[in-house]
Chain A
Amino acid sequence: MTRGTFAYVGQRFVLIALTALVVSSIVFIGVHQLPGNAFLSERQSSPQREAELLHHYGLDKPLPQQYLAWVGGVLHGDLGESLVNRGVRITPLLLRELRVSATLGLFALLFTVVLGMGLGILAATKQNTWIDYAASFGGTVGYSMPNFVTATLLILLTVTGFYAWSGGAFYEDIGWGKPEQVIVPAIALGLYPMAIISRLTRASMLEVIRQDYVRTAWAKGLRPRLVVIRHSLRNALIPVVTILGPITTSVITGSVVIEYIFGIPGLGKEFVNSIFNRDYNIVIGVFTFYAILVGLANLAVDLVYPLLDPRIRY
């Protein structure tokens, strides 16, 4: 850690904060351009109640003042109160859901990295054989399939397939808590990033195994496993690590639809539900949260990078 590193990290934090500000203010302004508000049902029964609610949420103040109050709350870790389920504070709600989403996301990432790198190494070491071609084609398929298609096919295969097979015992099993309720969605979520990683690993391995020092390792009679893992893979890993930032983004984005399909009570499902319920306080909260998360993931990748490749300094 040098002074340059600190300056760099500081710069990146400014960028993350800026992104969060831009995102939240755009969503904030956008949401408040909408006709009507979340209290239309109250307006019909009693206008006075509506006014009370507007006052309670601070929605009767001018927009800039509302936004400043919101930013002030965020700085204290408070994202405000749900518009639909009144009295529910958003921050603890999101933190609880984050735990679910993080579990799912980490399983998906694990699946992605292990299988993706494995396939990539296999394809590279068996270049131009049918294994390579099958892995490449599988990569294109995994890369192209939208995750809701993968999810639907997996549900058809597992849940519905098991339904017929188990005589109806498996049906209501969409939800959260059992191991298979983590594994199947994690596969659906991880297939796309897995394809990216396997492609990248293959390309990067192919470049490395043609280097002189790898030939030297073979020439001195090293065991194949050591040549592949210790000499080739370690250097082939560097470009693969860079892609982990964008992959985190895709896992986050993907979790929105996967959680919605599989009925998993995480952040993604909350996002979709809040949009349908017009609970904009939660929408703004989740959105800002995602922007910060993506920023931090990219920053983490950039900080790991120089550890793998000492030539890189900030």
Chain B
Amino acid sequence: MATAPSDYALQEDFVASEQYEVGESVSLWQDTWRRMRRNRLALIATAFVLFVLLVAIVSQFWTPYPIWKQGVGPTYQTPTLKHPLGLDQSGRDILSRLMGGAAISMEVGIGTALLSSVIGIVLGLLAGFYRGWIDSIISLVINVWYGIPDLLVVIMIVVITGRRELLFIIIAISITAWVNMARLVRGQTLSLREREFVEAARSIGTRDFSILFRHIFPNALGPIIVQATYLVPSAIIFEAFLSYLGLGVPPPNPSWGAMTAEGYRSLQYAPHITLIPALALGLTLVALNAFGDGLRDALDPRMRR
């Protein structure tokens, strides 16, 4: 049988639909992955994010030159074979520092996404499920928090406490970043708690705790994961911004934001010192957001915008 590409695609679709009919279970994740595979931009973005993650992990064990070592070559040197991305104002190897910066960005991004998601999910579930005064208090906190420019809050926290280690910066960003997650989860919970399966669970005497985490939470998982994915790039921006102002992880840690700021003074004669970390930051953020978009479209095609 001749299988022109279009025929093949048709056939595959047909087989897929037949599977649905016999009721063979296709898990949410298989289904998502099937749709995501068709989205070329999302695939490229996923590959790039995985690459940055890999670089971040590798940098913990090996970099071409020590990250902190100054004077491994002439200062301000443009890219050469020995130093593929050139050297900075202190004669440090930019490639090595870039790799170290990937680790810092990823730690902040993923750490913040996890921590603020936990805060947001718990508060959102409580507010949406119990309603009443609990909801009033949590919603008031959300509304007040929502009206404050969050980046400035993070700056204030860092300045007032004067602490700049990585874990503390993750906590400081999470203090503001949970708000959107809490809003989302609260809304989902408000509608899910009225559904029949929750009613059924309650009628057989299931405890609130397991209704919340075994019945409501899994059903809101799709949007929660998408929201958590978007939290990663926004946390990376916050950290880069803090470091750019000199308020992030203290030097000589290789944060991309700090590297961008350090090269700023020599922008005219050695633009590569600024450009390389700036582009690395930009590309990573574009990839993370494109990955989030792809995941959103794949998880729920109705949400496609």
Contact = CB atoms under 8 A, between A and B. Distances in A.
A226 interface: no
Interface of A: 15-16, 18-19, 22-23, 27, 30-31, 33-34, 137, 140-141, 143-146, 148-149, 152-153, 155-156, 160, 163, 171, 199, 202-203, 249, 252-253, 256-257, 260, 271-272, 275, 283, 287, 290-291, 294-295, 298
B36 interface: no
B205 interface: no
Given A30-B156, A257-B245, A148 B148 contact: no
A33 B155 CA distance: 16
Given A163-B268, A256-B152, A275-B159, A16 B147 contact: yes
14 contacts: A15-B147, A34-B162, A140-B293, A144-B282, A144-B285, A144-B289, A146-B237, A148-B244, A148-B257, A152-B264, A152-B274, A160-B271, A203-B305, A271-B152
Given A16-B147, A272-B245, A287-B152, A152 B160 contact: no
Interface in B265-305: 267-268, 271, 274-275, 278, 281-282, 285-286, 288-290, 293, 305
B152 A253 contact: yes
B151 A146 contact: no
Given A137-B41, A140-B293, A260-B245, A253 B149 contact: yes
Contacts of B289: 140, 143-144
A148 B293 contact: no
Shortest Cβ-Cβ A-B pairs, 10 listed: A144-B285, A30-B160, A203-B305, A144-B286, A253-B149, A19-B147, A149-B278, A146-B237, A144-B289, A253-B151
A202 B151 CA distance: 28
Contacts of A287: 152, 156
A146 B240 contact: yes
Main secondary structure on chain B at its contact with chain A?
A: helix
A174 B125 CA distance: 49
Given A144-B282, A260-B245, A275-B159, A22 B152 contact: no
A249 B153 CA distance: 13
Nearest to A168: B268
Given A15-B144, A257-B241, 17 more contacts: A19-B148, A27-B156, A34-B160, A141-B282, A144-B233, A144-B289, A149-B260, A149-B278, A149-B281, A149-B282, A155-B267, A156-B271, A160-B267, A199-B305, A275-B159, A291-B149, A295-B147
Contacts of B191: none
